[in-house]
Amino acid sequence: MKAESVRICPSCGTRNKPKWEYCVKCGESLQDVALGIPAAETVVAEPETVEATGPFPWVALIASVVLLAAAVYFYKNYKGVEPKPQAGVWTAPTVPPSTAAAAAYVPQSGEKDLQDGRNMLAQGDVAGAVRLLSQAVADAPSDHAAHFAYAQALWQAGEKEQAVAQYQEAGRLSPQTLAYRADTARALVALGRKAEAIEELEAAVAIEPGPGPLQSLAALYAESGNPARALDTLRRAATVAPNSAIIQQDYAHALEKAGNTAQAIEAYQKVLELNPKAANSRGLLADLLFRQNRKDEAIDLVRDGIAQNPQAPRLHRDLGSLLERSNRLPEAIAEYREYARLAPQSADAKQLEERAASLEKKLAGES
């Protein structure tokens, strides 16, 4: 392109054709720009310092809008329109109905007999339960639940040896089920088979060292002549259930029998903290304190219990004994008679009435 046939944009330095009224690059007006290139200077654009001159470039702006509109039209008509989502796309997915699920459920072999047998047993029809549960076991010999239910039915029917066999089979099929072990142990104890019961409870405690199985196991150890293991097991039970007054009392009693007097006193005191109305523990603690020559403390302990629970016969009897041993006979006589009044049907009510009369005669003779 020759120099005299162009118009040089004063804003950006772009060369434009002579007939163009606006710069093709920046839209600047070229109406006052002469043709050709000035001989003595070169235009250098500095956008941040050069001020725009001339009218606003409306033509360039309109051209840009037209080009943008054309581009959009081309894109939609030749690039394809984005498909609209099909109906139901945003609804929750559903699973086609399964033919098997839609069909009527058919219980497996033995399942109906098991459920019906349980229902009969709950309703008191023991014979009917035994019949159905026997069939459930025959149909599903590997079902531990069927053996367990059958054992319960047999036990209620009086077939206790057979019941134990079914309990044991349920435990063999499901050795981690605590209820099977516990019920088997109870059945064995009832039949006098304590050694086997201990094995079952030891297995139960291995599964879960709960306070109930531990307490039962300790009792069996004690009955079998093993007080050391009984004490150790009760210590574990008391640790597992520190807020059980009953377990704490058993532990205190075991400590006392083992000769651990100081620990037994602490354990009995803990029982009373948990249950101030625990008359048995209060009486046992008072007797232990009395034998430690803490007589006044023992008597006051029982009197405190009577103040909290004046209708507890055991406390009046215990107080009468402590008072008699302290040679406070008139007070002892009153407590023995109060015991007989509160518990007239007890086995020793008559005996204590006679004891009170005997002490009265003794006092009269002394006087």
Q: How many angstroms from the chain centroid is the CA of residue 292?
A: 45
Straight-line distance from the first to the last Cα atom of the chain, in angstroms, rounded to the nearest whole number: 156
Banded model confidence at residue 171, pLDDT cuts 50, 70, 90: very high
Task: State the CATH architecture for 209-273.
Answer: Alpha Horseshoe (1.25)
Mean pLDDT along residues 177-189: 93
Q: pLDDT tens for residues 299-322?
A: 999 999 999 999 999 999 999 999
Backbone angles phi, psi at 7, to 5 degrees: -115, 125
Residue 170 phi/psi, 5° resolution?
Answer: -60, -45
Structural domain spans, the chain: 3-76, 110-205, 209-273, 276-367
Q: Is the pLDDT of residue 67 over 70?
A: no
> Is residue 231 pLDDT above 50, yes or no?
yes
- What are the tokens at 222? 């004690």
pTM: 0.62
pLDDT at 124: 94
Q: Same CATH fold, 276-367 and 110-205? A: yes
The residue with tokens 């307490």 is 215
* Distances in whole angstroms, Cα of residue 286 to Cα of each of 175, 254, 280: 45, 16, 10
From CA 234, how far away is CA 254, in angstroms rounded?
8
Q: Which fold has domain 276-367?
A: 1.25.40
Residue 16, pLDDT score: 73
Residue type present at position 117: G
What fold characterizes domain 110-205? 1.25.40
Going by pLDDT thresholds of 50, 70 and 90, the confidence category of residue 9 is confident
